[in-house]
Amino acid sequence: MSSLDGKVAVVTGGTRGIGHATAAALADAGATVVITGRDGETAAKRAAELGAKVSGVALDVTDSAAVKDVFKAVAKEHGRIDVLVASAGVLEGGLIGMLTDDHIGRTLTTNVAGSLACVQAAARVMMRKRSGAIVLLGSVVGERGNAGQTVYAASKAALSAVAKSAAKELGRHGIRVNAVAPGVIRTDLIAEQSEEVLAKVQADTALGRLGTPEEVAAVIRFLVSDEASFVTGQVLGIDGGLVL
C-alpha cells in the first residue's frame, strides 16, 4: 500500500476504538496524525502510545467555534491538512416511545452536526492545495436500520448523504469524500450488548464473526491513500457480509 509520508491527518474521536486504530494505521503509513478527544489529557496520552508523529488535542465536535480553532491551529503548525477521518460520535439506543429531546439532540448534534463542522473546517484548508481525502464514519445501522436505534440510524444515514453530497461539491477542488459503514465491531461501544445479542449478529454475518477496529482502519487507510485516487462519494460496507 502506498505511503502517507508527508501527509497530515486529523482523526476526531481518536482516543479509542475505530478512531484510535485508524490513527495507528495512518501513523504506521508515515502520516503525521493529530487525534482529538473531549478530554485533552486523555488525547495526549493515547497519542503518545502511537509514537512521536502523533499528537493529541482536546476537541468537543459539538462546539463549532472550537472545531474551527483546532483545524486552524493544525494547519498553522503543519502547513496543511491532507486527511480528515471524522470518527467522533455517540451510540445511544432507545425505543421510539422512550426517546427524549435530549437524546435526539445529543445524537444528531454530535454525529451529524459535529461531523459536518469538521468537514467544513478541513475542506477550507484542503481547498488551498486543491487536494485532500475525507472519510466519515457511518454504520451498517444507517444503511439497514435497527429496532431500538432509530435516532442513531438516522444520524448515520445522514452521514452517508453528507459523504455523497460533499463528494459532488468538493470534487472540483480535488477533495475526495467517502464514508465507511462498519458492522458490529469489537469496541467498548458494544460492551453493554448481551452475549445472546452478539451471538445472533455473528450468526447473521456471512463470515460468522464480529469485526475488529484494525480491519476498519485498514479500509480507511486505503480510502485516504493515493491508491484510492478515483474513489469518491462511496459508502463502503465493512460488515463481514451482514448486509447482503
Residue 197 belongs to some domain of the structure: yes
Task: Please say if the pLDDT value at position 33 is more than 80.
Answer: yes
CA atoms lying within 13 Å on the CB side of residue 77: 14
Nearest-5° Cα angle at 24, 58 to 73: 35
Catalytic annotation present for 62: no
Contact 220, 162 (CB under 8 A): no
CATH of the domain at 20: 3.40.50.720
- Which sign does the torsion angle of CA 52, 53, 57, 62 carry? negative
The residues, any chain, with a CB within 8 Å of residue 17's CB and separated by 6 or more, are: 87, 185, 187, 188, 189, 213
Q: What is the pLDDT of residues 138-187, one digit of tens each?
A: 999 999 998 899 999 999 999 999 999 999 999 999 999 999 999 999 88
The residues, any chain, with a CB within 8 Å of residue 173's CB and separated by 6 or more, are: 123, 126, 127, 130
Helix, strand, coil distribution of the chain in percent, nearest 5: 50, 15, 30
Residue 13 belongs to some domain of the structure: yes
Task: Report how far Cα 201 is from the mean position of its chain's Cα atoms.
Answer: 22
Residue 1 belongs to some domain of the structure: no
What was the pLDDT predicted at 1?
Answer: 66
For 232, the grid coordinates are: 469518491
Rounded CA Rg of the chain? 17
Residue 160 belongs to some domain of the structure: yes
How far is Cα 41 from Cα 55, in angstroms, rounded to an integer?
Answer: 11
Mean pLDDT over 63-88 rounds to 98
Residue 103 belongs to some domain of the structure: yes
Residue 62 belongs to some domain of the structure: yes
Q: What is the pLDDT of residues 180-217, one digit of tens each?
A: 999 999 887 777 677 888 888 899 999 999 999 999 99
Span between the terminal Cα atoms of the chain, in Å: 28
Q: What is the pLDDT of residues 98-137, one digit of tens each?
A: 999 999 999 999 999 999 999 999 999 999 999 999 999 9
- The rounded percent of the chain whose pLDDT value lies above 70 is 99
Domain that holds residue 147: 8-238
Exactly one of 151, 152, 224, 237 is catalytic; which is it?
A: 152
Give the chain's domain count: 1
Task: Please say if the pLDDT value at position 3 is more than 80.
Answer: yes
Contact 126, 72 (CB under 8 A): no
Residue appearing with cell numbers 426517546: 99
Residue 87 belongs to some domain of the structure: yes
The residues, any chain, with a CB within 8 Å of residue 93's CB and separated by 6 or more, are: 148, 149, 152
Residue 3 belongs to some domain of the structure: no
